[in-house]
Amino acid sequence: MEVKARIKKLRELMKEKGLDAYVIPSSDAHQSEYVADHWQSRSWISGFTGSAGTVVITAEQSGLWTDGRYFIQAEIQLKDSGIKLFKMNQPGVPTYIDWLAEQFSTGSCVGFDGRVFSRFNVEKMSKKFDRKGIKINDQYDLIDRIWSERPALPMEKVFIHQEEYAGRSVSAKLKSVREKMQEKGVDYFLLSSLDDLAWLYNIRGSDILHNPVALAYGLLSTEKAWLFIDKEKLLPEVEGYLNEHGVTIESYQAVADLLGKLAAGDSLYYDPRATNNYLYNAIPAGCEKVAGRNITTDLKAVKNETEIANLKECQIRDGVAMVKFLYWLKQNLAKEEISELTVVEKLKEFRSQQEKFIGPSFDPIVAYREHAAMMHYKATEESNYQLAAQGMLLIDSGGQYLDGTTDLTRTIVLGQISAEEKHDFTLALKGHIALSQARFLHGATGSNLDVLARRPLWEEGLDYKCGTGHGVGFFLNVHEGPQSISPLPNKVKLDAGMIITNEPGVYKDGRHGIRIENVLLVQKDEKTEFGQFMKFETISYCPIDLAGINPELLNTKEKQWLNDYHQMVYQTLAPRLEDEERQWLAEETRRLH
């Protein structure tokens, strides 16, 4: 069915169930950022394929709310659908909850599937709707009724992530979690986030494309640990491994039943942003519900020494793959037809030559010319550009390796570029360098540091409508919290051992997009009478295209950073390259005077 036909079918069901509006989020039953095909309801109903957004359908209107990363993409994909785009966080644009509260009054009913709505969002909605007398109904998955060929839940096998990579045993991690539970004075801890579960139980899967996780839930008491997962996913050695560490296996669907058996007076800790409303409602009324961020999220964010050592080696191999790719691209651009989709395949080919490679860490963003103005552009057969020896190519890509996850962006000059493009490239680089060089007192958050990357752009009236950096998992999700670098308020202090990206950019609709991204490791710096200072170590290894830079815009300190970075890249990668590649890299990392 076309989008309009799907919406028509949905409206018929809404009328049948007495619903005045129906809300379709992007999430799955675990509040994942990226979801399995089974949970792609918002994409299916709207035609918008970005990773973030919420669709609202009423009897007469329909809208999509998404953030600045997707404004351009959404305008293209929603064309002729009848769905209005609401640009989130822009002046005068209401949230979808505020919009619904404006549209309806006493007696109206807003519906949604409680399995894909977090308790946090339901509480926000209820607070606003209660004032207007608007009811909510979370009982119906109406999309399932009209999506006749809906994909089944994935059933991929799970495997053990060995301690030589993870650095800590399941038993040790369970002990750390229970210590935190004791500090909080709770009897149970409910865990829904898939990457947290994978980290805690040292398992990995492939239920979500590019995210090595498996659909499951977890529950911990002071003495027991449960994993709720379809047992067909577990090979005997995996089940035996988990049992050895005191983990009891139950079916994926059994979690609600076990929650319902908690006794009056028990206390359960849960993350309202990660726990769906269906599970929340399964907890008995007599059980004390203690809300807060997942205990595992904070433990997972600070990498241990083994993880850090593995990740650094992983980043080097990924850098080798990128240099081999860039050498191939520059050598063959004028000799053969190369398209955006060709580049996607070549990136995977060069990474797959590296040890311990499992697959891409996300769908690569390979965007030529004005396509790069769409921050999360994805090349398709219809949009696929052929590359030429002119303009710029933005490549944002990464790999999943047994010993780490990588994320790297380079904007590559393929030939002649305009003075404006070179100017904007240099501004993005200045922001990148400013953040890379930051020294800050322990206790600072990413919100405190975000302005460093934006200042060179702000001084010229430019900005980018997204965050500057995100955490990265360890052979897990490429986007990981709780730390981030963003203008949005964030109370999470940057601790030694945290991993975070540095990716300022310039995006001009219809013209060009530029982004330069490295991964940073938070480290301790000197301690003075004023406190413990912190710094970043750059652990990505790939040259920054000198052809994009206007040296007159860089000061001496910025040039020194770039020269030092390029010297590190050459010295680290050169021993692992062929002679021709090594010579090419020497030229690409030459000193800027």
Q: What is 3-146's CATH topology?
A: Creatine Amidinohydrolase; Chain A, domain 1 (3.40.350)
Cα separations (Å) of 403 from 106, 201, 214, 400?
55, 16, 18, 8
The confidence score (pLDDT) of residue 177 equals 98
Q: What is the CATH number of domain 159-300?
A: 3.40.350.10
pLDDT at 270 over 90: yes
As a whole number of angstroms, the distance between CA 521 and CA 314 comes to 14
- Residue among 311, 326, 357 nearest 540 (CA): 311
Cα separations (Å) of 281 from 32, 122, 143, 153?
20, 11, 22, 23
- Residue among 564, 366, 407 nearest 500 (CA): 407
pLDDT in tens, 278-321: 999 999 999 999 999 999 999 999 999 999 999 999 999 999 99
The confidence score (pLDDT) of residue 210 equals 97
Over range 486-511, report the average pLDDT.
96
The confidence score (pLDDT) of residue 68 equals 84
pLDDT in tens, 164-201: 999 999 999 999 999 999 999 999 999 999 999 999 99
The confidence score (pLDDT) of residue 69 equals 82
Contact indicator for 210, 478 with CB cutoff of 8 Å = yes
Identify the DSSP state of 491: -
pLDDT in tens, 419-461: 999 999 999 999 999 999 999 999 999 999 999 999 999 999 9
Report the DSSP beta bridge partners of residue 87.
66
pLDDT in tens, 42-83: 999 999 998 899 999 999 999 999 998 888 889 989 998 999
As a whole number of angstroms, the distance between CA 11 and CA 16 comes to 9
Q: List CB contacts of 485: < 8 A, sequence separation 6 or more.
A: 435, 446, 447, 449, 450, 453, 467, 468, 469, 470, 500, 501, 502
Q: In the chain, what are the domain boundaries? A: 3-146, 159-300, 302-587
Contact indicator for 290, 310 with CB cutoff of 8 Å = no
The confidence score (pLDDT) of residue 51 equals 85
Residue 171 DSSP SS3: helix
Q: Where does the pLDDT of residue 376 fall: very low under 50, low under 70, confident under 90, or very high at 90 and above?
A: confident
Residue 111 DSSP SS3: strand
Same fold, 159-300 and 302-587: no
- Residue among 17, 88, 95, 7 nearest 44 (CA): 7
- Residue among 176, 257, 253 nearest 220 (CA): 176
As a whole number of angstroms, the distance between CA 49 and CA 40 comes to 9
The confidence score (pLDDT) of residue 72 equals 85
Superfamily holding 302-587: Creatinase/methionine aminopeptidase superfamily (3.90.230.10)
Over range 371-400, report the average pLDDT.
96
Q: What percent of the chain shows pLDDT beyond 90?
A: 97
Q: Where does the pLDDT of residue 241 fall: very low under 50, low under 70, confident under 90, or very high at 90 and above?
A: very high
pLDDT at 1 over 80: no
What mean pLDDT is reported for the chain? Answer: 96
